[in-house]
């Protein structure tokens, strides 16, 4: 085992601890960015002037706004001393002259109160000259509207393999987007201090990028700008790059007025202005042999990137890399491209394209299993990677055996076969209600695919009383990163958890950080914190060795005491060693650094080993579907997930459960609707509030929810043998979608494919049931009383059936 | 205006700096109580939940969870509220906070203070009884009637009697809810010296007459019904509010402002529930939660409706008068009340008049109510139809707006449908009676042929639209299947007795 993965005796890592801020959360004492603003009565509020056109040339007249009582200033392009751009790609003007989507912020009004800022924004006159707009990926494909660089992953001879395959299926799959709906909307608070330094409190996953954007908008060097991310009320990727224009607005306002300026989006502003999970349009052909083995896949994935590039290139690339999910596909070609549409700029969202990639293969397997006459669970298992195989992009699938073990364990924990038999009996007795139990796997690559991002820094101080303060580059969005980092530091220094504190993430403590994203926060920052702690510990060991009369190499730090090997010798306290070290002028603070070893990636060829390792998991989900309405409920979920040796089991359990429910929301409930008509409202987001965009509530919680961690799972080469956990569990939710698909199928005769829309809302499920029953009518086994009317079922599933005709030869 | 004041966490705080349109949430945050969060500003997420001291039926006080984003700050004049900060501190956690914290019930923590307040309201519910308690009433051998707590707890109730629906108006984006449920189900009873438990034994604060005027905008809580009627006669543009669960959304999301907000929720004439001779009268300004408690299951159709109406946070403030007065085609009380043949009692300075609810809605968001009238009550004729049901179709099971809602009230004479009354929501510009379907059922045998025929008629009632909630086609189909589902799932259960 590598030193990085090895745990000492009595480690603080692995202890089941609640979130470090849990008591503060529950009592309302935990402060978030806008809570700081509420305590600053001198702060001005910024309010956006939003476009009411999907695409138009605009010009502004702000005179009426300045006449509104309380309005102090209106920020426009003319006020920008530096670069008028809010992003990293140079395609996001902060104050645009061309409105690129309905809701686009054109200018910002600063005022004494929220009310006057709102009225001021309403008073800005916007003259616009409408331009043609594109609302969907399909429209963009038709119009040839793309952005960024298209990429292809290819292995073998997929065209030849498809031509020779005994069974070939083809189809078009539309994958819906998802709104992050972090409970805390975007917020920034900026002020300029007595020395002219700009200090920005920002709800961001990426303080360093916020710092860079603020600096280039203000036209000042980065050393004039400090960004702090106290804690976020949820991020999920939505605060990886999207906060930085808002931070720049606050900083610009503070610089120009000399007053603190706050930006806090209302829910509707957040929904209409900020990016979401990318919807995808996918065309595919897949070949199978007579045994149900996947022979080949050819797919073109078009992501709907919205109005600017943002993170669409890496998101689309990760989708391509996850089209295989857990399955060996010998010959494959997947092409990815990014549609440019007049919508919000779609961005990072938990899984970062991975979920959309996996959707493709899981959808294919779910659809073709009945036609191949193979049980879907068996079809999946049959195609798993085995040891020695590589992914389509050339990375060996290390620990492929874990996939098989996880799968077996889920089948066992969920009593899969017995319950399936009971479900068959239940369905035979119930004409109007059907149940199903489905199981799906996850294999998810861990590391930023941009190799340079796989580095982190930390700063650890040991004070003279033996207390420890840690700083690191990672941000806290609820995922429990700080909890884990406290555990890592306490373990590395051998001190009780209570003697370690962390300070909020800020760019003047640890510079040049990566976004807290890609599930990598604990891997990267844990490595850096450990590195810093070990430097201090090694220096203290020299001091302690002299105190104890032993060699420094034999000194051990554990639970606040410092001793030699064995349990019977003398010992001193950690604080005593600290005190002695200070007397002897030994440095008691250190900067730590970590870089993930062994990564390489050729972006042009789309080949290499971009991931440190894969996270594995599987879920078995039972649903019940109501044939009258298409509504469904999740009756039971059993999960086995591979988190390595958990750093913090309560935290990891929370990530698994929360990720699963969020994934279920994406796949079944959360429905983004845009006005796609040619009318005056074209481009308007219709689901622009909590009453129209529904995320999972208690009613979507699985009634029985069993989560197990994969055991004896030490991940070598990662901090204390752990694995990343933020994103992979989201994709366990494909088990919900596949269970719904199989329950829908149970309304009709066996052997017919079911196509489900995305999201599979009750309405979508109802139409799928109607289509299944339509199949039933043809087969002459209809339950005449099952609630069918004479009206034909809506198109969709029927069309899918046509597209799914196998080309048997 | 220091005479306008609220008791917050045991401390009297003057309502300085608030206007008629300031939400309680904004005022609380302004005075430094930033534990309450804005997540949506429309009563959907519960991040702003606080506890309000409201009167119970026995002269004591109930801690009622409400959405602070919808309650006007001025409406709290003279009242008592408790926020998450008032429940406990990080050093001295309240039991609900301790359970939430140790169970992993918080991740990002933004929704947690709101959950703590909703959970505390259920913690202090006086009639919350552990389901594992022996069933004394059934008598007989005590050992035989004692049931295990786990066996008795259904999916929505803990062994401690905690009703999970109490949290259905709170959203969490991080946890997936399981640890929050477990925290709730691990709660015991309040300690004997718990000050908030003790507070329940004394009366709730009396409603206070309030006049707040800032920048030409007024909030008035009149002293009597007569005064309220005088005000709306003189100022027909006044916005009349009870729970403000609808008006609060207009103010927050659509920027609506008005010169005068008139609060009528405290007027006793609008808060009564009376079973009279051949009629049940329900006060228009009584929160739905209180209506549900006072009816105590005697109107099975409404009993079926209440849990499906928004969330407890909303039902603790929302009223029948508000739901009918706002005349939304997707309000949930209208379809139910239409099927019960309810009548609306309107009062003005000139006296009262009564109109059939089926005539009350005249167009999209338009009613027969004149600007000088208040909805005082609804009247439901007795005896009730014996076979009733409320069907609601929505994307999400808890706390969602209807795509389609159907109220059924059938009277069966033997196996013949002697009368059918069906109310519909979500399929036209107004709620409406499905009269053609009613005719298709009346006088016919209650069997599959009748139901199929009537279902196809029902499927053509109204003129549904397609929107972000559902397509027109789905809405029509849901009407038809509602009747089939009723027949298939309930044909054997006609046990509901008249009140």
pLDDT tens for A382-402 read 999 999 999 999 999 999 999
pLDDT at res. B491: 59
pLDDT at res. B490: 73
What is the phi-psi region of residue A224: left when phi exceeds 0, alpha when psi lies from -120 to 50, beta otherwise?
Answer: alpha
| Pick from A570-579, A786-795, B184-193, B206-215: least confident | A786-795
Domain locations in chain B?
Answer: 222-384, 387-490
pLDDT at res. B155: 76
- Residue A808: pLDDT over 60: no
pLDDT at res. A41: 87
* CA distance, residue B22 to nearest chain A CA (Å): 10
The mean per-residue pLDDT over the stretch A450-470 comes to 97
Contact list, B50 vs chain A (CB under 8 Å): none
ipTM greater than 0.90: yes
> Residues A76-97: pLDDT tens digits?
999 999 999 999 889 999 999 9
> Residues A596-647: pLDDT tens digits?
999 999 999 999 999 999 999 999 999 999 999 999 999 999 999 999 999 9
> What CATH number is given for B387-490 in this structure?
3.30.390.50
CB distance from A651 to chain B under 8 Å?
Answer: yes
The mean per-residue pLDDT over the stretch A567-580 comes to 95
pLDDT at res. A88: 85
Q: Which pLDDT band holds residue A648 (cuts at 50, 70, 90)?
A: very high
Give catalytic residue positions of A: 727
Q: Which two tokens stand for residue A393?
A: 């992009």
- Residue A787: pLDDT over 50: no
CB distance from A795 to chain B under 8 Å?
Answer: no
**Candidates B398, B480, B484; nearest CB to A698:** B398
Q: Which pLDDT band holds residue B3 (cuts at 50, 70, 90)?
A: confident
Spatial CA neighbour of A719 closest among A473, A529, A555? A529
| C-alpha–C-alpha distance, residues A388 and A396, integer Å | 7
The mean per-residue pLDDT over the stretch B416-441 comes to 97
The mean per-residue pLDDT over the stretch A688-693 comes to 96
- Residue A439: pLDDT over 70: yes
CB distance from A484 to chain B under 8 Å?
Answer: no
Assign 3-state DSSP to chain B and report helix, strand, coil percentages, each to 5. 30, 20, 45
Sheet containing B217-221: order of strands: B210-214, B217-221, B260-263, B239-241
Work out whether the CA dihedral B83, B87, B93, B99 comes out positive or negative.
negative
> Residues B34-81: pLDDT tens digits?
999 999 999 999 999 999 999 999 999 999 999 999 999 999 999 999
Q: Do B176 and A30 touch (CB under 8 A)?
A: no
pLDDT at res. B137: 39
**Candidates B34, B98, B177; nearest CB to A701:** B177
Residue % of chain B over a pLDDT of 70: 93
Contact B339, B408 (CB under 8 A): yes
- Residue A373: pLDDT over 80: yes
Q: Which pLDDT band holds residue B140 (cuts at 50, 70, 90)?
A: very low
* CA distance, residue B90 to nearest chain A CA (Å): 5
B4: three-class secondary structure by DSSP: coil
Q: Do B178 and A699 touch (CB under 8 A)?
A: no
Compute the mean pLDDT over every residue in chain A, rounded to the nearest whole number. 94
The mean per-residue pLDDT over the stretch A2-31 comes to 96
Q: Which pLDDT band holds residue A30 (cuts at 50, 70, 90)?
A: very high
Residue A169's contacts (CB-CB under 8 Å, 6 or more residues apart) are: A285, A286, A288, A364, A367, A368, A371, A804, A806
A699: three-class secondary structure by DSSP: helix
Cα A332–chain centre separation? 26
| C-alpha–C-alpha distance, residues B248 and B42, integer Å | 7
- Residue A807: pLDDT over 50: no
On the question of a common fold for B222-384 and B387-490, the answer reads no
pLDDT at res. B489: 85
Residue B46: burial class (beta carbons within 10 Å; 0-12, 13-18, 19+): buried
- Residue A750: pLDDT over 70: yes
CATH architecture of B222-384: 2-Layer Sandwich (3.30)
Interface test with B, best of A18, A27, A431 (most B CBs within 10 A): A27
Q: Do B485 and A432 touch (CB under 8 A)?
A: yes
The mean per-residue pLDDT over the stretch B214-242 comes to 97
> Residues B249-265: pLDDT tens digits?
999 999 999 999 999 99
Closest-CA residue of B relative to A24 is: B90
pLDDT at res. A291: 94
Compute the mean pLDDT over every residue in chain B, rounded to the nearest whole number. 93
The mean per-residue pLDDT over the stretch B175-180 comes to 98
| C-alpha–C-alpha distance, residues B12 and A280, integer Å | 55
- Residue A319: pLDDT over 50: yes
| C-alpha–C-alpha distance, residues A780 and B392, integer Å | 32
The mean per-residue pLDDT over the stretch A138-162 comes to 98
Contact list, A236 vs chain B (CB under 8 Å): 173
**Candidates A29, A432, A686; nearest CB to B90:** A29
The mean per-residue pLDDT over the stretch A309-338 comes to 98
H or E stretch covering A640? strand A632-641
Q: Which pLDDT band holds residue A294 (cuts at 50, 70, 90)?
A: very high
């Amino acid at each position: 085992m590598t030193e990085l993965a090895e745990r000492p005796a009595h480690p603080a890592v692995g202890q089941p601890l609640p979130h470090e801020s849990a008591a503060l959360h529950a009592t309302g004492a935990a402060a978030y960015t806008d809570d700081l603003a509420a305590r600053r009565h001198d702060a001005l509020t910024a309010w956006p002037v939003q476009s009411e056109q999907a695409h138009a040339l605009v010009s502004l007249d702000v005179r009426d706004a300045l006449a509104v009582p309380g309005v102090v200033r209106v920020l426009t392009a003319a006020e920008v001393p530096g670069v008028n751009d809010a992003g990293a790609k140079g395609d996001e003007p902060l104050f645009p002259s061309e409105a690129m989507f309905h809701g686009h912020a054109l200018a910002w009004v600063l005022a004494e109160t929220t009310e006057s800022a709102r009225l001021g924004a309403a008073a800005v006159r916007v003259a616009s000259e409408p331009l043609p707009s594109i609302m969907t990926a399909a429209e963009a494909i038709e119009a040839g509207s793309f952005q960024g660089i298209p990429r292809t992953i290819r292995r073998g001879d997929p065209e030849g393999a498809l031509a020779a395959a005994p069974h070939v299926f083809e189809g078009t799959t539309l994958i819906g987007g998802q709104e992050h709906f972090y409970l805390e909307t975007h917020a920034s608070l900026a002020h300029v201090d007595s020395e002219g330094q700009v200090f920005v409190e920002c709800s961001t996953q990426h303080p360093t990028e916020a710092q860079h954007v603020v600096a280039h908008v203000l036209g000042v060097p980065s050393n004039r700008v400090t960004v702090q991310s106290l804690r976020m009320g949820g991020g999920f990727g939505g605060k990886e790059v999207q906060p930085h224009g808002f931070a720049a607005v606050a900083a610009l306002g503070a610089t120009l007025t000399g007053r603190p300026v706050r930006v806090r989006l209302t829910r509707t502003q957040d929904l209409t202005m900020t990016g979401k999970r990318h919807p995808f349009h996918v065309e595919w052909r897949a070949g199978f042999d007579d045994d149900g083995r996947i022979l080949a896949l050819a797919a073109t994935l078009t992501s709907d990137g919205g109005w600017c590039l943002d993170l669409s290139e890496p998101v689309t690339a990760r989708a391509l890399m996850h089209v295989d999910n857990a399955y060996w596909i010998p010959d494959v070609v997947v092409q990815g491209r990014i549609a440019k549409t007049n919508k919000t700029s779609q961005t990072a969202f938990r899984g970062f394209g991975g979920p959309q990639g996996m959707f493709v293969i899981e959808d294919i397997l779910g659809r073709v299993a009945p036609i191949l006459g193979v049980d879907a669970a068996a079809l999946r298992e049959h195609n798993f990677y085995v040891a020695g195989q590589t992914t389509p992009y050339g990375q060996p699938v290390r620990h492929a055996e874990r996939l098989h073990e996880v799968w077996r364990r889920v089948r066992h924990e969920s009593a899969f076969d017995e319950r399936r038999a009971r479900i068959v009996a239940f369905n035979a007795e119930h004409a109007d209600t059907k149940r199903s139990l489905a199981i799906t796997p996850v294999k998810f690559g861990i590391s930023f695919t941009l190799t340079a991002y796989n580095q982190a820094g930390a700063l650890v101080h040991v004070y003279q009383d033996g207390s420890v303060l840690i700083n690191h580059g990672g941000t806290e969005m609820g995922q429990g990163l700080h909890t884990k980092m406290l555990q890592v530091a306490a373990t590395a220094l051998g001190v009780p958890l209570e003697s370690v504190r962390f300070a909020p993430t800020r760019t003047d403590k640890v510079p040049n950080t990566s976004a807290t994203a890609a599930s990598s926060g604990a891997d990267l920052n844990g490595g850096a914190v450990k590195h810093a702690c070990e430097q201090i510990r090694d220096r203290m060991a020299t001091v302690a060795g002299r105190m104890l009369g032993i060699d420094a190499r034999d000194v051990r730090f554990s639970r606040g005491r410092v001793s030699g090997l064995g349990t019977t010798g003398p010992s001193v306290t950690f604080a005593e060693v600290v005190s002695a070290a200070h007397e002897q002028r030994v440095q008691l603070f250190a900067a730590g650094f970590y870089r993930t070893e062994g990564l390489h990636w050729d972006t042009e060829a789309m080949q290499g080993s971009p991931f440190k390792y894969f996270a594995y998991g599987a879920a078995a989900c039972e649903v019940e579907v109501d044939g009258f309405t298409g509504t469904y409920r999740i009756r039971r979920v059993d999960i086995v997930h591979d988190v390595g040796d958990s750093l913090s089991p309560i935290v990891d359990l929370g990530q698994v459960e929360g990720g699963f429910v969020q994934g279920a929301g994406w796949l079944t409930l959360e429905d983004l609707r845009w006005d796609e008509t040619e009318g005056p409202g074209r481009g308007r987001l219709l689901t622009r509030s909590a009453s129209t965009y529904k995320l999972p509530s208690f009613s979507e919680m699985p009634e029985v929810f069993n989560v197990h961690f994969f055991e004896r799972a030490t991940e070598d080469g990662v901090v204390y043998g752990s694995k990343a956990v933020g994103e992979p569990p989201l994709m366990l939710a494909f088990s919900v979608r596949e269970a719904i698909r199989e329950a829908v199928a149970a309304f009709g005769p066996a052997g017919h494919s079911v196509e489900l829309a995305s999201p599979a809302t009750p309405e979508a499920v109802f139409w799928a049931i109607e289509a299944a029953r339509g199949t039933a009518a043809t087969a002459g086994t209809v339950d005449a009383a099952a609630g069918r009317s004479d009206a034909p079922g809506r198109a969709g599933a029927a069309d899918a059936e046509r597209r799914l005709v196998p080309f048997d030869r | 205006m220091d005479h306008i004041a609220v008791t917050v966490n045991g401390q009297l705080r003057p309502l300085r700096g608030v206007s008629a349109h300031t939400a309680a949430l904004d005022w609380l945050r302004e005075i430094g109580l930033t534990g309450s969060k804005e997540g949506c500003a429309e009563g959907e997420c519960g991040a702003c939940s606080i506890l309000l001291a409201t009167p119970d039926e026995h002269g004591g006080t109930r801690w009622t969870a409400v959405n602070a984003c919808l309650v006007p700050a001025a409406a709290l004049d003279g009242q008592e509220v408790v926020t998450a900060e008032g429940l406990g501190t990080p050093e001295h956690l309240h039991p609900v906070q301790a359970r939430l914290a140790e169970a992993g019930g918080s991740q990002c923590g933004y929704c947690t203070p709101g959950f703590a307040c909703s959970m505390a309201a259920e913690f202090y519910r006086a009639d919350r009884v552990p389901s594992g308690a022996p069933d004394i009433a059934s008598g007989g051998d005590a050992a035989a009637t004692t049931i295990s707590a786990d066996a008795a707890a259904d999916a929505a109730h803990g062994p401690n009697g905690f009703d999970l629906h109490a949290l259905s108006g709170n959203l969490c984006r991080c946890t997936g809810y399981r640890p929050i449920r477990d925290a709730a189900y691990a709660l015991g009873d309040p300690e004997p010296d718990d000050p908030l438990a003790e507070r329940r034994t004394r009366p709730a604060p009396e409603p206070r007459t309030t006049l707040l005027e800032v920048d030409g905008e007024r909030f008035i809580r009149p002293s009597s019904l007569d005064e309220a009627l005088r005000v709306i006669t003189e100022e027909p543009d006044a916005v009349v509010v009870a729970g403000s669960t609808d008006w609060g959304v207009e103010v927050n999301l659509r920027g609506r402002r008005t010169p005068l907000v008139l609060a009528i929720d405290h007027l006793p004439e609008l808060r009564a529930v009376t079973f009279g001779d051949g009629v049940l009268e329900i006060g228009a300004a009584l929160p739905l939660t209180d209506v549900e408690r006072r009816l105590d299951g005697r109107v099975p159709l409404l009993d079926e409706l209440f849990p499906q109406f928004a969330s407890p946070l909303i039902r603790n403030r929302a009223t029948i008068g508000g739901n009918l007065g706002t005349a939304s085609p997707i309000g949930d009380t209208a379809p139910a009340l239409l099927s019960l043949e309810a009548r609306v009692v309107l009062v003005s300075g000139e006296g009262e008049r009564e109109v059939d609810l089926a005539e009350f809605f005249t167009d999209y968001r338009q009613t027969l109510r004149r600007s000088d009238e208040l909805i005082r009550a609804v009247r439901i004729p007795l005896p009730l139809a014996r076979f009733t049901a409320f069907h609601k179709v929505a994307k999400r099971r808890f706390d969602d707006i209807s795509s389609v809602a159907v109220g059924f009230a059938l009277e069966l004479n033997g196996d013949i449908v002697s009368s059918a009354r069906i109310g519909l929501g979500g399929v036209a510009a107004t709620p409406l009676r499905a009269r053609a379907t009613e005719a298709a059922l009346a006088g016919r045998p209650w069997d599959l042929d009748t139901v199929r025929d009537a279902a196809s008629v029902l499927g053509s009632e109204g003129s549904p639209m397609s929107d972000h909630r559902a397509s027109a086609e789905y809405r029509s189909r849901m009407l038809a299947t509602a009747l089939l589902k009723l027949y298939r799932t309930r044909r054997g259960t006609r046990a509901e007795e008249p009140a």
